[in-house]
Structure 1
Amino acid sequence: MHVSGVELLIRRWLPGARFVNCAARLESGECVGYDSQFYPATPSEYSEFMRRYQDFLSQNMVEWLGDCYDCEDFAQLASALFSAWFRKNAVLKAVGRVYYVHNGSRELLGWHAYNVVLYCLEEDLTKCSIENTVLVLLEPQGPVSVIASYPYITLSDGSYIEYETVEVHPPG
């Protein structure tokens, strides 16, 4: 999928979010991009990734640690591991505001980093297109994921966390 397809999916699934494909900015102000082609995850790849990622976190005792190892580190790890294991750049990094919603009130918790996954609904990637690719939000500290058109992770008490994506960045 060309980078323009990724931009279209982000506009469709994450209204208001920007795709920032900029590895470096030249003196002229021109941006040098990361990748120009992206390869979505298939259902079986994503399922295997979630299993392996959970195992990796457990076996290596990867835990949140204040500003030393926090949300952006987990997002980078998930993106890098998917690329290493499947040789695809389907797991993008995202930044946005996160809200706690309970009993009709909405409280800003702050800024947060997480992942956006290019997810093809078909196992056969030759049948994958813009029309059957969705974006999945992955909370890499969980790990738990939801379809981006419903950006809420429900908690056990019935409250939920709402993700408002502002920027999406390629792996790298």
Structure 2
Amino acid sequence: MFEIKKDKKIEELISITKSDSGISGPILAKAHMDLGMAMGEQIKDQFTGDTTVVGILRGGMFMAIGLYYALDCQFELYDPKAGEFIRPKTKNVILVDSVINKGRTIERILDSTMSVACGVINENAVEKFKDRLYTIRISKNSFVGSDTKVQKGNRGPDTTMRLFNQI
């Protein structure tokens, strides 16, 4: 597993992305893109130009765009609700999502030749992806995303809805 090296700028971006930040819309989307770029800069020596970054819709789109910019590779989007995943033909494939709670969406399409990148992953899901995981941070928290603006118990603001300014 690779967890991004953090400096003051990355810590500021992380604070924007947290569920309790109260930040939604373009500022949040830009933070996800900047974190994707930062991750890409730190891992680009591990991936050749023969790489495709696949953003899992909708939450993984902005981080995937940042990785795409940093890795100068191919780019695709995948909507798990719209159809079957077809693995890109490139040597390397990186599946990107903003939040991984249990990892079921990615597990359904992941094969042994692909990697996973995310903004945050629940600590209980880390083991599923092992050496193929690239993350900004690991969290002990796990909650169900909903259309609420604040976290209450195990329910909190859905990251995707926040990214698209729908809360």
TM-score of the aligned structures, taking structure 2 as reference length: 0.31
- More helix by percentage: 2
- More strand by percentage: 1
TM-score of the aligned structures, taking structure 1 as reference length: 0.31
